[in-house]
């Protein structure tokens, strides 16, 4: 295979899905991951006319599932050039004293430990080959704590710390490490955060022209197509209407 191979977690919606589409059209073969098998199948069907696609159906929280899924890759797919650690969500938005422990577990297990489990199976190959590019999707929530964000913010601060740590530890091997920290992106993110409450999710973006998942995909494509000696290390990306986690210019209805 002369195309590069990109491994994308959370490819069934939002940023991961938009990135899969853009990388498929730009000379990448794809390994697409997620829990929703039906979506993975239809995305594979759609993108297979453009590029080679393999899907892996696993929950990043489950260490054994992560290990088995990645071990099942055919040998010609094991040389992963680009790892995009994107799977993640917020679960709930409550003051700490009212937080739900199941939501806390989900955020720490998915956003932090899931990212580590996946990386553990892929990074040693990059080290051996002395090449590769890891892109971790953090958040503005990993740069600024906001009211009621507590544990989601903690999970994304952890992603930022792990990203910095990876960049330092993998420096001797010529592996690029990039952190991308978006502000408001309209995806299924708010629907998941508010447990399916579509009205509440819609209100998050009321009066704002938020980022689209395609905007982040564009930045990912730019990032992975820089010359060998260039790495975009860390980026905060806002819609123009946003200036900080909580400073958002909203147009009146």
Residues marked active site are found at: 152
Which residue, 166, 238, 170, is CA-closest to 208? Answer: 238
Which residue, 143, 241, 107, is CA-closest to 184? Answer: 241
Query: Of these, 141, 151, 170, 175, which contacts ligand 8X3 (CB under 6 A)?
Result: 141
Q: Of the two residues 89 and 178, which places its CB atom closer to ligand NDP in the complex?
A: 89
Point out which residues bind ligand NDP (CB under 6 A).
Answer: 9-16, 34-36, 59-61, 86-89, 110, 114, 137, 139, 182, 184-185, 187-189, 192, 213
Q: Of the two residues 57 and 148, which places its CB atom closer to ligand 8X3 in the complex?
A: 148
Q: Of the two residues 137 and 219, which places its CB atom closer to ligand NDP in the complex?
A: 137
Q: How many CB atoms lie within 10 A of CB 74?
A: 7
159 near ligand 8X3, rule: CB under 6 A: no
Q: Of the two residues 36 and 130, which places its CB atom closer to ligand NDP in the complex?
A: 36
Residue 245: contacted member of ligand 8X3, ligand NDP, none (CB under 5 to 8 Å, by partner type)? ligand 8X3
Q: How far is the CB of 229 from ligand NDP (least distance, A)?
A: 28
Burial 210-227 (b: 16+ CB within 10 A, else e): bbbbebbbebbeebbeee
Count of residues that bind ligand 8X3 according to CB under 6 A: 5
169 backbone dihedrals φ, ψ, rounded to 5°: -70, -30
Residue 237 contacts residue 219 (beta carbons within 8 Å): yes
Residue 137: contacted member of ligand 8X3, ligand NDP, none (CB under 5 to 8 Å, by partner type)? ligand NDP
Query: Of these, 139, 150, 163, 187, which contacts ligand 8X3 (CB under 6 A)?
Result: 139
Q: How many CB atoms lie within 10 A of CB 39?
A: 17
Q: Where are the alpha helices (DSSP H) in 108-243?
A: 115-129, 150-169, 189-193, 198-204, 213-224
Give the interface with ligand 8X3 as residue ranges (CB under 6 A).
139-141, 149, 245
């Amino acid at each position: 295979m002369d195309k590069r191979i990109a491994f994308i977690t959370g490819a069934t919606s939002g940023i991961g899905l938009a990135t899969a589409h853009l990388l498929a059209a730009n000379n990448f073969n794809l390994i697409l991951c997620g829990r929703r098998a039906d979506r993975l199948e239809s995305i594979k069907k759609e993108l297979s006319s453009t590029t080679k696609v393999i899907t892996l159906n696993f929950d990043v929280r489950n260490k054994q599932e992560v290990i088995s899924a990645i071990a099942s890759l055919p040998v010609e797919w094991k040389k992963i050039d680009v790892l995009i650690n994107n799977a993640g969500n917020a679960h709930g938005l409550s003051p700490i004293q009212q937080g739900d422990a199941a939501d806390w577990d989900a955020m720490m297990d998915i956003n932090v430990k899931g990212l580590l489990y996946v990386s553990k199976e892929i990074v040693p190959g990059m080290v051996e080959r002395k090449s590769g590019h890891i892109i971790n999707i953090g958040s503005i929530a990993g740069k600024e704590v906001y009211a009621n964000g507590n544990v989601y913010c903690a999970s994304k601060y952890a992603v930022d710390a792990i990203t910095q740590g990876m960049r330092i530890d993998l420096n001797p091997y010529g592996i690029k490490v990039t952190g991308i920290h978006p502000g408001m992106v309209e995806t299924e993110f708010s629907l998941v955060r508010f447990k399916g409450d579509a009205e509440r999710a819609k209100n998050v973006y009321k009066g704002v022209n938020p980022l689209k998942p395609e905007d982040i995909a564009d930045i990912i494509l730019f990032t992975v197509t820089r010359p060998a000696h260039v790495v975009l290390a860390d980026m905060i990306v806002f819609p123009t209407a946003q200036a900080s986690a909580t400073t958002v210019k909203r147009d009146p209805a």
